[in-house]
Each structure stands twice: as structure tokens, then as C-alpha cells.
Amino acid sequence: MLETLDLSKSLTKEEYVRDLIQHQVTLNALGYQVYVQQRPVVIVYEGSDAGGKGGNIKRVTEKLDPRGYVVHPIAAPKGEDATHHYLWRFWRRLPEKGQIAIFDRSWYGRVMVERIEGFCTEEEWKRAYREINHFERQLVDFGTILFKFYIHISKDEQLRRFKAREQTPYKAWKLTDEDWRNREKWDHYEEAVNEMLLRTSTLTAPWTVVEGTCKWYARVKVLRTLVDGLSRELNYDPFADMPEIEAKKKGKKRRAKKKPKGGTKAKKMAGRSKSLDSKDTTPPMIDKYEFGQIVVDGQTYESDVIILPDGVVMGDWECREEHVLHPKDVKSVLKAAPEVVVIGQGSVKNMRVLPETKERLKATGIEVLAFKTAKACETYKELRNQRKVAAVLHVTC
């Protein structure tokens, strides 16, 4: 099976950056749906030594809510784990409903390393195929969404990465004498992997074999598989109503930047409203946020802020003392025609959205997302290049 893979598959840097960000942002939305729908998710990583599992896991988790997932690095069982059936230590690490568990190596060690190194009898590893299939079937029947990835690289590519690790001080710790010994048994491991894939890739728990020579390609393939699988299992389309970025950019009109005419009042008004230069093709960017201060495109505001997708940033907006988003404020938001309005309510949620105002936004087809301000800022930054977003951010008390 492994010999049929096309290990020459790759992506350009531009394709990688584009696809990586798109799938990471989408996975973030799906991760929230996992919590909302209370579905446990298990992601299993197996693969060649130096195959890129760690870097792959890093990209998968990069934009996930850290409260919603856990990564289990699996090594030889020790202590209490070593006194039980080999599956026991995995049963006790399974995720609760609404959580994601990622296993960096897994129960498949039984039919690979334990088989090759003689850590179990032939009868035990042969029996393990049936035990593993039953184990995974129980997980899926319970409602678990299960993904299994095997990242494969060639023997020559592994040697190249081993030598690169030797010469890179901050990576050298990853390379051990055991890694070199395992290379001598490459053919035995390849035979064990092929049998494992054939005997444990079932309808309920299929394997996804990933061509790993190009790390960029491998990362995007895993992310794409997760997005497609979660969208199907959760019956949720994260791309619904999401516009094409380039089309939006071409059709977007920019307001000309006006210089304030002398005087204190003009300077104050310049601080209240800042338009993007017509040459700037990106939406406003939040550079920094901390309680009492926010920096947007290099401009510092010490009061509540409304960011509009057409490039306008309004500081010191109306009714700041009450922290209420009034219809007059909403009028400016509606005029900019965003698809999403992200509301940052402050650390103590002391900004209110009047019910009629919220309904008015929703009635025009605008999605309303409300978080604490720090989370709202992060949400805005993630969505700003994907959708037409406005942000109403409570900065001060």
C-alpha cells in the first residue's frame, strides 16, 4: 500500500499560506460546533520517525480554543499504565463530550513497535487487530468522531531529516540512538504498517494516509480532511454565505483620507474617525488590545471603538458612558453593510446591546457575535480577511 503513494506531491508557499489560514479559521468554527453539539473527537497520528507529526499537530491546534482540546504524547507505558491491558491507558484518556483529544502515537503501537521489537507475543499482536477494531467501533457507536492519520515519508527523506536534526541545535534532542536502530528495521516496519492499514481501515474508522515529503502539503491535507469530516459529521457548513475574498477586494470602495484643517477641534475629530488610504487593500487591523487602550492600524484609542469594514475607525462613539449600542450607532454599522458584527462586551460584560438593536441587525441578515473584548478582538482578526466584518469594542469601564 505504501509503495503506491505519490510522495512528490507538494504545494507552493503561496498555496500553503492561503490554504493553511483558510482551513485553520474554518477548523476554529468547527471546534466551537463540537462543543455546542457535545460530540467527542479523537484524532490519531501515526507515521514514520521524523515524518512531521509534531509540526502537523501544531498547525491543527494553532487556532483552536485551548480549552477545547488536549494532546497526548504516547510513549512506552509506565507505572500504573504498564500493569493493565494495553488499551486501558487509552480508555482513560478519551475525551469527554464536546472535547477534542489528539494522540501523538496511539494504541497502534501494539501492532507496530511492540510487534517488531518483541514487546508482546505473536498471539497478542495478531489478536490486537480484532481488539482495536472493536474498540474503535465502540467509540464511533457512542458518537465519537474519529480520525486516523498515517504520515509517510521515504527512507531517503527520513535520512535527510535525521542529518538535518543532528546539525540543528534546537532540534538535536529529538534524535536518539533508538531512531537510528529503527532505521535498520525499515523493511520490517513497512511490512507491519501495510498490514495494519489493511486490517484496521474499516468503514467506521478509515485511515487517511498522508504523503509527508512536503510538510506543507501534509499539513494542508490533514486540515482539509478534518474540515470535511467534521462538517459532514456535525451537519454544519462553515463556508455557508462566506464570500470570495478576492471578489470582495475588487468591488470594495475606499473613502479618501481627508486631512484635518487646523485647530484643536479638527485634531480631536481626526482621532475620532480614521479612514484607510485608498491604496490600502486590507481591512483595519487590531495591533494591540489591553483594558483601557486599543491600537488599530497604529492609531491608539483610549475609549470605546467601532471598526467598520469599509475602513473607518470611530473612537469615542456616542453614549460611551452608558456603554449602550443605540440605534444611532447602529445606523453607521448598517451603512457599512457588514456580514458579521463582532461585539466586545468588556471584561465584566458592562456593555449592553438593546434587544431591538440586536434584532435590527439580525433582520438585515447580519450575524451578531458577542464575546469579552479580548476574544472579540481575536475573532475580528481571524475573520477580517474572510468575511466583511464590523467590530464594536468596549475598551474602558
Residue 239 clears pLDDT 50, i.e. is over it = yes
More confident residue, 277 or 225: 225
Q: What are the cell numbers at 329?
A: 450607532
**Buried (b) or exposed (e) across 288-304, using 16+ Cβ within 10 A?**
ebeeeebebbeeebebb
Residue 102 clears pLDDT 90, i.e. is over it = yes
Residue 243 clears pLDDT 60, i.e. is over it = no
The average confidence (pLDDT) of the chain is: 83
pLDDT per residue as tens digits for the range 76-97: 999 999 999 999 999 999 999 9
Q: What are the cell numbers at 308?
A: 467598520
Tell the residue number behind the cell numbers 492561503, with chain if given.
18
Read off the pLDDT of each residue in 113-119 and give the average, rounded to a whole number: 93
Whole-number pLDDT of residue 274: 41
Whole-number pLDDT of residue 293: 83
| pTM for this prediction | 0.61
Whole-number pLDDT of residue 247: 38
Q: In terms of DSSP bridges, do strands 352-353 and 41-47 run parallel, antiparallel, or are they unpaired?
A: unpaired
Other CB atoms within 10 Å distance of the CB of residue 43 = 25
Whole-number pLDDT of residue 354: 53
pLDDT per residue as tens digits for the range 149-204: 999 999 999 999 998 888 888 788 888 888 888 888 999 999 999 999 999 999 99
* Residue of 59, 106, 28 whose CA lies nearest to 215: 59
Residue 255 clears pLDDT 70, i.e. is over it = no
Provide, rounded to the nearest whole percent, the portion of the chain with pLDDT above 70: 82
pLDDT per residue as tens digits for the range 207-233: 999 999 999 999 999 999 999 999 999
Whole-number pLDDT of residue 71: 97
Whole-number pLDDT of residue 322: 52
Distance from C-alpha of 379 to C-alpha of 32, rounded to nearest angstrom: 12
DSSP line for 153-192? --HHHHHHHHHHHHT-TTTGGG--HHHHHHHHTHHHHHHH
Residue 276 clears pLDDT 70, i.e. is over it = no
Residue 126 clears pLDDT 70, i.e. is over it = yes
pLDDT per residue as tens digits for the range 291-350: 778 888 888 888 788 888 877 887 766 554 455 666 667 778 888 888 888 888 764 444
pLDDT per residue as tens digits for the range 9-64: 999 999 999 999 999 999 999 999 999 999 999 999 999 988 999 999 999 999 99
Residue 252 clears pLDDT 50, i.e. is over it = no
Residue 1 clears pLDDT 90, i.e. is over it = no
Whole-number pLDDT of residue 392: 84
Residue type, 320: R
For the ranges 105-119, 237-251, 294-308, 358-372, which has the lowest average pLDDT? 237-251
Distance from C-alpha of 140 to C-alpha of 144, rounded to nearest angstrom: 5
Asked if residue 307 lies in contact with residue 380, where contact means CB atoms within 8 angstroms, the answer is yes
Q: 23 vs 27, 53, 310, 347, CA distance in Å? A: 6, 18, 25, 30
Q: Which domains does the chain have, with CATH numbers?
A: 2-234 (3.40.50.300), 253-266+282-393 (3.40.1230.10)
Whole-number pLDDT of residue 339: 86
Whole-number pLDDT of residue 242: 53
